[in-house]
Amino acid sequence: MKIAFYKYQGAGNDFVMIDGRNYPNLDLSKAQVAHLCDRRFGIGGDGLIILKLHALYDFEMIYFNADGGLSSMCGNGARCLVHFANFLEIIKKETTFLAVDGPHEAVVLGEDQIRLKMGDVLEVKSFGEDFILDTGSPHYVKYQNNISVLDVNQLGAEIRNAPLFEKEGINVNFVEEQSKNKIAIRTFERGVEAETLACGTGVTACALVHHLIHNKEEKHNKIEVKTQGGDLLKVELDYTEDGFKNIWLIGPAKMVFRGEIAL
């Protein structure tokens, strides 16, 4: 069987994209997904996304990690999928679609920029000097100096595989403060089990924590986040007595190439 695919990247976070409308009976095994995401023997990607139509929304996002397992929400993958849906003319400028953590709104801004609404975050837990929160996926946020020289794969794996997190896994973010409204991050992603060049839910998690530390008195804020992928992502948020609401992740999403592969 041959399937058509599209390769996307958002701030260096890359994905294999499949238009599921063309394959209504497609049922990929974990091994097949892992093969497609393999950078030496497959297409290569941090994950694989299938776009499916949905009766109540413009489309549905089915996301798999690079290890082949179904995953939680992926912010950069969702932004890439919105760009893909626009390319396929399923949507125009605005959309509401369904992901594993519920419905999301998004806007195509032009010049490959996508504005994605994330779910509300009502709780941020302190963990010693670090933080834990869920932005559609679970994240561990740790402030660190000189993150450019960190061994993220080693340090991230140690936290991700600690007894408290080992079973479900957790994404680990190392954050370096650059200013009151700007940070740089590096992320170790569960499912990929390595550092990725960007992580949308991780960018969001780090921005929310940074707001709590430096801007808690402000009810609205925009934080810029520098990723290893080189692109600057932005997080807009409202901070209320009930937590974070109206959270928007804004940044680039681009098609890299397209092709066909045999399964």
Distance, in Å, from the CA atom of 75 to the CA atom of 229, rounded to the nearest integer, reads 15
Q: In this model, does residue 110 exceed pLDDT 90?
A: no
pTM across the whole model: 0.95
Query: Span 121-141, mean pLDDT?
Result: 97
The confidence score (pLDDT) of residue 216 equals 86
With CA atoms as reference, report the closest residue to 182 among 142, 205, 211: 211
The confidence score (pLDDT) of residue 217 equals 85
199 is catalytic: yes
Each residue's pLDDT tens digit, 151-194: 999 999 999 999 999 999 999 999 999 999 999 999 999 999 99
The confidence score (pLDDT) of residue 97 equals 98
Please, which residues have CB within 8 angstroms of residue 261's CB and are 6 or more apart in sequence?
A: 2, 3, 5, 36, 42, 43
Question: For the chain, how many residues are written?
Answer: 263
Each residue's pLDDT tens digit, 38-93: 999 999 999 999 999 999 999 999 999 999 999 899 999 999 999 999 999 999 99
Distance, in Å, from the CA atom of 235 to the CA atom of 117, rounded to the nearest integer, reads 10
Distance, in Å, from the CA atom of 75 to the CA atom of 46, rounded to the nearest integer, reads 12
74 is catalytic: yes
Which DSSP category does 22 fall into? G
Which DSSP category does 39 fall into? T
CB 123 within 8 A of CB 243: yes
Structure tokens, 159? 């936290």
Each residue's pLDDT tens digit, 198-244: 999 999 999 999 999 988 888 999 999 999 998 899 999 999 999 99
Which one of the listed residues 37, 80, 199, 206 is annotated catalytic? 199
Distance, in Å, from the CA atom of 7 to the CA atom of 206, rounded to the nearest integer, reads 27
Q: Which domains does the chain have, with CATH numbers?
A: 2-118+253-262 (3.10.310.10), 125-249 (3.10.310.10)
Which one of the listed residues 37, 74, 80, 206 is annotated catalytic? 74
